[in-house]
Structure formats: structure tokens, C-alpha cells
Structure 1
Amino acid sequence: MNKYFRAIIDFPTALIKTSFFKIYRFKSFKSSILSFMSPYSELTVDRGAKVIIGKNFRQRSQSRIRVRNGGELRVGKNISLNHGCMIVSREKIVIGDDVQFGPNVFLYDHDHDYKTEGGISSGKYKTSPIIIEKDVWLGAGTIVLRGTKIGAGSVVAAGSVIKGCFPRNSLIYQPKETNVRVHNINSV
């Protein structure tokens, strides 16, 4: 019963949230009326940023989208951001149609430029676009870094940290070695 009551509250709240962004950022935010953004999610669009979201977009709770000044985010149709995902754009992130996000997937098209005068506190960044083509699955806990292009039909295994260009229909994973050492409590 509780989940039905919550759904009755969440749907109008999400509709108001989407409408607010369309009115408040009408030049820089475009979205289908068929988009659903959980009231427990975050969407931040700075002045000078641009966001285009396709039909059937779902942003689940605790997910965050931040498009900073000069940044651009283009999201295709039939996209679902799972719980805890984060997308931060300072340059450009393009997500093709039918891309699925596992929980806690992060996309960052920038790195702090710690080598500049003043270091990290200087607030300077190195940026490169992220392009994710259609029909891609990003497994739970994946981190996609700047300068990454993922080809259509690819799957990124859970827990991967990726940067670079990956061809169509790739299975992208990072082997993780598990070491087990048996210890004898009596010898300590």
C-alpha cells in the first residue's frame, strides 16, 4: 500500500520538477513530457549549459545530473538512470538511445588539473567528451572518465573504471585478482 501512495505523490511531483526546468531554463533545457525524474533525484543546470533529454527518460532516486557552465548533455530515448548514478558534464556527454545504467554508475568528462599554478584549488579542469552509443549496458559501480567512447551494443562489467575508445559490441571488464592468505592465529 505504501508504494502505491508514494507513486501517487511522486508522479505529479516529478511532472512539476520537469516543468519547472522547462520554464526556468527554457533555452538550455529540452525534455519530453514522457520523462520521469524522481523527486529524490537532483538535476543542476548552470547558466550557459545545455541539456537535451529524449523520450522515456527515467531518473531514479539518489541519482544526480550536474551540467556546469559551458557543459552539454545529450541523452537519447529509453534511458534509465538507476539509483545513485551521477553524471557531471563540463564539456560534453552524449548518451545514445536504449542505454541502461546499473546502480551507482558515474560519468565525468573532466579531471581536476592539479598541475596548474595553485593546484586543485585553482578550480581548473582538463575536459574531453564522453560518447556512449546506443544499446550499451553500464554495470553497477562503473566509472566512465573523460575522453571515453563506447561503441554500440557494448557491455561494461560491474566495477569497471574505463577511459579510452572501445569498439562496437565490446565486453569491457577489468580482471580483479582476489588474494587469500590463510593465517594461523596461534603463531601471532
Structure 2
Amino acid sequence: MKRPNQIALIYSKVIGINHSLSFYLLKIRGLQGGDDSRIEKITCNWPNKLIIGHQCNIENGVDFRILNPLNESSYIKLGNKVFIGHACEFVCNEKIIIGNNCLIASKTTINNTRHEYKVTANINTQPIISEAIILEDDVSIGTSCVILQGVTIGTGSIVAAGSVVNKSIPANEVWAGVPAHFIKKRT
């Protein structure tokens, strides 16, 4: 296999500087923590509502979206040594807490909001309902999963790729499917 040429190496360094600048601008806007983390190009509309732990790795295209920045319980907190794959989306109107040593694969959506759907009013005028989402320590989420409002995923649990999690998962279990259901205990 050929070694990268000089242009590829220079390009890689320029991209690294761009990521550092982007992270620095988010810090100026209020992002908390993450000093020893590797953070690529991410978006966050309210960085003062994002707390990043130590030694995290956040890849390109991750979107942290805070819907109500004036709500004190509306924030996203990542523990230490968290990995978030590219193109993940966090939609937060109530707290989203990710524990230590968690892995969240690419294209996963974590959304803690939904609309009511009563027939007595138009759908676009329905109130928003929000419930916290908590991933405890040592949780693994496969690629392209959806984690919905009110869910707690217990320590050491695994969610298989493509699953939709709409109810809480106990510790040390493997879940999969749409909607996600129990597969087996983790041994």
C-alpha cells in the first residue's frame, strides 16, 4: 500500500487546524469541558448548554440541538471517554445525559421531544412533551438507532444497529428491533 503523498499530509493538517478553530469558537460561546477531547466539526446552536467530559471523541457532522435554551433543565452532558460517530443528532428540550465510557455509532438520533396528537386540535398546534434521556455508564448504541423521550438505558447495555428504543432498558442487556425488545443478558 502506498504512503500518503505530501499534499494529503498537508490537507490533513489543515483539517486538524480547522477542527481546533471550530472547537475554540464553541468554547468562546460557552461550551464547557472537553479540553483533552478530540472534537471534529460539530454544530451546536447553544454551546453554553453542552458539557463535554474528558477524553471524548466526537466525529464530523454531529448536531447538538437545544430547543429551549432558557429552560434550566435543557442541556446535554457527556461523561468521560464517550465516542460519538459521525452524523449523530441530539434534539434536546429536557436533559440528555450520557454516562462514562459510552459508544454511540454513526447516524444515531437521540430525541427527547414529541408533540401531542389529540384529534381536537391541528397537529402543528399540539403542545410539545419532553422527558429526559439517560444513558448510564458503559452503554453501546449501534449505528442508525433512534432513542426516544423518557428512556433510560442501564449500565453495560447494548442496543443493536437500526433499533428504535421507546422504553427503558435494564442494566447489562442486549436489545434490538423496531421497537427494540430484549434479546439476551450480557455475559
Q: TM (normalized to structure 2)?
A: 0.81
Query: Quick one: distance in 1 between partners of 2:67 and 2:146?
Result: 19
Number of residues of Structure 1 aligned to a counterpart in Structure 2: 170
2:23 aligned with 1:18, yes or no? yes
User: Counterpart in 2 of 1:181?
Assistant: none
Query: Quick one: distance in 1 between partners of 2:80 and 2:129?
Result: 29
Which stretches in structure 1 are left out of the alignment for 5+ residues? 177-188
Aligned partner (choices 101, 106, 111) of residue 104 of structure 2: 101
1:94-135 residue CA offsets vs partner (Å, 9 max, x unmatched): 000111011211100111234387534337311000000011
CA RMSD of aligned residues (A): 2.3
Contact 1:147 1:164 in 2 (8 A): yes
Indicate the structure (1 or 2) with the bigger Cα radius of gyration.
1
| Runs of 4+ in structure 1 over 6 Å off | none
Which AA in structure 1 matches 2:51?
A: I
Q: TM (normalized to structure 1)?
A: 0.81
Query: Quick one: distance in 1 between partners of 2:111 and 2:168?
Result: 15
Contact 1:43 1:66 in 2 (8 A): yes
Contact 1:42 1:62 in 2 (8 A): yes
Which AA in structure 1 matches 2:18?
A: T
Which stretches in structure 2 are left out of the alignment for 5+ residues? 180-187
User: Counterpart in 1 of 2:51?
Assistant: 52
How far did 1:87 drift? Answer: 0.8
Contact 1:113 1:119 in 2 (8 A): no
Shift in alpha-carbon separation, 1:134–1:116, aligned structure 2, 3 A: farther
Of 113-122 and 153-162, deviating more is: 113-122
